[in-house]
């Protein structure tokens, strides 16, 4: 099957999310398209209304950092606000709006746990928050690190498959792992992988958790080196 959709010439980034029967693609709240894999039809999600009790204000021009489809909800991360919208395609409305308190910081990204219960939101300025969507008025875990000015464009956050750990990379040459369910122990710090070494290594560009092997993480740096590592 081949689906083609022309984007404007000024579009720099677009995010993808798959529900199994549909693929969502979008670069801002006003430009989200749904591709039906069964019928090959393309439809536009014309409006993402905020029908929640949250007082935060979102704009149709807000840029999307990334999207994930989990448990019949489309999680939409807003790059410049830090909000995560939980959009229900069947109802055509936003069911929840998770808003961070660091409204002056930008360059946000997010990840969603496999069960859709937890959302991790991080930005390149060193802020990390984890929310339980059953009560998202306050983060259940928070961490802040100082980031060099030349690293402000690069970062990535991932929640482990067992929904116990959250990891962050891109702020330096390390990958940091936290247990957000046990923040009272060592401030949640579990492990820091510092194996990416060398004169030309400047940052970790991406990482991911193995879907079935416990505590196994893969990470890649700017030189193209890929490492697989475990922690206790």
pTM of the model: 0.88
Q: Do 180 and 80 belong to one domain?
A: no
Query: Residue 222 domain-assigned?
Result: yes
Please say whether the beta carbons of 130 and 118 come within 8 A: yes
Query: Residue 2 domain-assigned?
Result: no
Query: Residue 205 domain-assigned?
Result: yes
Q: Do 230 and 173 belong to one domain?
A: yes
Q: What pLDDT is stored for residue 8 in this prediction? A: 47
Please say whether the beta carbons of 230 and 217 come within 8 A: yes
Q: Do 73 and 144 belong to one domain?
A: no
Query: Residue 123 domain-assigned?
Result: yes
Looking at the structure of the chain, the number of domains it has is 2
CATH assignment at residue 146: 2.130.10.10
Q: Do 69 and 152 belong to one domain?
A: no
Instruction: Locate 39 and state its tokens.
Output: 């019928």
Q: Do 94 and 177 belong to one domain?
A: no
Q: What pLDDT is stored for residue 18 in this prediction? A: 94
Q: What pLDDT, in 10s, does the model give residues 18-55?
A: 998 999 999 998 889 999 999 989 988 756 655 555 55
Query: Residue 8 domain-assigned?
Result: no
**Could you give the angle at the alpha carbon of 33 between the alpha carbons of 29 and 39, nearest 5°?**
160
Q: Do 95 and 84 belong to one domain?
A: yes
Q: Which residue range(s) make up the domain with 92?
A: 13-52+62-99
Q: Do 129 and 221 belong to one domain?
A: yes
Q: What pLDDT is stored for residue 100 in this prediction? A: 85
Q: Do 153 and 170 belong to one domain?
A: yes
Q: Do 109 and 183 belong to one domain?
A: yes
CATH assignment at residue 69: 2.40.10.480
Q: What pLDDT is stored for residue 155 in this prediction? A: 85
Q: Do 80 and 114 belong to one domain?
A: no
Strands 156-159 and 165-169: antiparallel
Query: Residue 122 domain-assigned?
Result: yes
Q: Do 80 and 178 belong to one domain?
A: no
Regions in the chain scoring below 50 on pLDDT: 1-3, 6-9
Backbone Cα Rg of the chain = 18
Q: Do 226 and 151 belong to one domain?
A: yes
Distance CA 163, CA 22 (A): 25
């Amino acid at each position: 099957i081949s689906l083609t959709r022309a984007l404007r010439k000024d579009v720099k980034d677009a995010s993808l999310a798959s529900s199994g029967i549909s693929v969502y693609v979008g670069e801002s709240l006003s430009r989200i398209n749904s591709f039906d894999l069964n019928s090959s039809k393309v439809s536009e999600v014309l409006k993402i209304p905020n029908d929640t009790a949250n007082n935060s204000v979102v704009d149709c021009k807000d840029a999307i950092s990334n999207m994930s489809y989990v448990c019949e909800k489309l999680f939409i991360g807003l790059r410049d606000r830090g909000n995560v919208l939980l959009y229900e395609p069947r109802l055509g409305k936003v069911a929840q709006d998770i808003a961070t308190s660091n409204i002056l910081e930008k360059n946000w990204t997010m990840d969603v746990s496999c069960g859709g219960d937890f959302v991790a939101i991080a930005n390149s300025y060193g802020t990390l928050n984890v929310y339980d969507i059953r009560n998202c008025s306050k983060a259940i875990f928070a961490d802040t690190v100082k980031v060099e000015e030349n690293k402000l464009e690069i970062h990535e956050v991932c929640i482990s498959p067992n929904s116990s750990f959250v990891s962050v990379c891109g702020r330096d040459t390390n990958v940091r792992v936290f247990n957000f369910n046990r923040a009272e122990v060592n401030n949640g710090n579990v492990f820091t992988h510092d194996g990416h070494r060398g004169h030309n290594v400047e940052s970790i560009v991406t990482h991911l958790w193995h879907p079935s092997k416990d505590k196994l993480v893969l990470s890649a740096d700017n030189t193209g080196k890929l490492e697989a590592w475990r922690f206790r």
